[in-house]
Amino acid sequence: MITNHSSFLSRLFHPERHSSSLIWLVLAALVIIVVTIVPEFVTPSNLSNVFVQMVPLGLVSVGQTFVILAGGIDLSVGSQISLVTLIAANIMGDSVLSILFSIFLCLLAGLAFGFLNGVLVHKVQIPPLIVTLCTGFIFQGIAYALHKTTGGYISANFQKVITASWGVLSMPFFLFIFFLLIGFYLLNRTRFGRYIYALGGNEEVLANTGVNTGRIKVASYVIAGVMAAITGLYLAARVKSGGALYGVPFTLNSVTAVVVGGSPLSGGEGGLAGTTAGVVIVSMLNNVLNLISFRFNLQSTFYKEILTGVILVIAMLFYRKRS
């Protein structure tokens, strides 16, 4: 009996690779607690709001997951998102051709941002945290140069398509599910996905098998860049403008969602199932703070930042690799 009990505790506090059952149990417990404390959380209008708020974080977290699984981190995604919203808002018109060209250019920009990060991390041999922090400053500076506050123009037709909703369900939600499924396929059904896990687990061992680890590393950052661009396009449509600060919250929140979901910053473990739960938890807690702040006339922004930091520290301690 003691052996079985110890084995259960060992599995509980030492999550296996790809294991996301623990975080989903935590999510279920949080939902029960939240519904008890804030009953209005489960109203259809609020649930719809939670789903909408979850989409941009979910999209950027898909890309962040690939980078973290490969043993890296991208602290420039927030700046990339902001810059993409301004690119779209500065070149988009009302014609279909103009809208398609804007989308293409934004995706190309995201690809270029990710490629730059990947090449610098691989070639310069500087820690990814430092590289992406520096490129994030560069992207943010370019965003400020384009427009210091908010502005530009987003086509109403583009906005209607991207933000269409039908009750609780919406086009943004389906958009998130679509890219989530693509991510699941790449990580769990392709050789590339196996290489991503192997790269995060032990890059030297993977290199000794003849695999071009630099190419895999660059590809992970390219995926993150493209997902940041998609997030930027969605945010631009949602708020009908571009903004130099629109993407700022998503840098730390995306890392938090991925790490809370069971993917340690050391790489090689975790996956998108856990990230999805992490996204829901972060979005849900932000929403609950908004509801509580509205009820008691409090400023929720400060509490969100404190809560996000606390959650991230706890998650890193819990999921850190044990010797």
- Could you read off the pLDDT of 125-142 as tens digits, one per residue? 889 999 999 999 999 999
- Could you read off the pLDDT of 2-46 as tens digits, one per residue? 444 444 445 445 545 445 677 787 788 888 888 887 787 778 777
- Could you read off the pLDDT of 294-320 as tens digits, one per residue? 666 665 566 667 777 777 777 777 666
Domains of the chain with bracketed CATH:
18-319 (1.10.3470)
Average pLDDT over residues 48-65: 91
Q: Is residue 282 a contact partner of residue 31, using CB atoms and an 8 Å limit?
A: no
Average pLDDT over residues 44-56: 83
In this prediction, residue 46 carries a pLDDT of 78
Helix spans in the chain (H): 2-13, 21-37, 44-69, 77-91, 96-123, 128-146, 156-162, 171-189, 191-201, 203-208, 213-239, 248-260, 272-296, 300-319
- Could you read off the pLDDT of 70-110 as tens digits, one per residue? 999 999 999 999 999 999 999 999 999 999 999 999 999 99
pTM: 0.87
Percent above pLDDT 70 for the chain: 87
- Could you read off the pLDDT of 253-310 as tens digits, one per residue? 999 999 988 888 888 888 999 999 899 988 888 887 777 766 666 655 666 677 777 7
In this prediction, residue 12 carries a pLDDT of 47
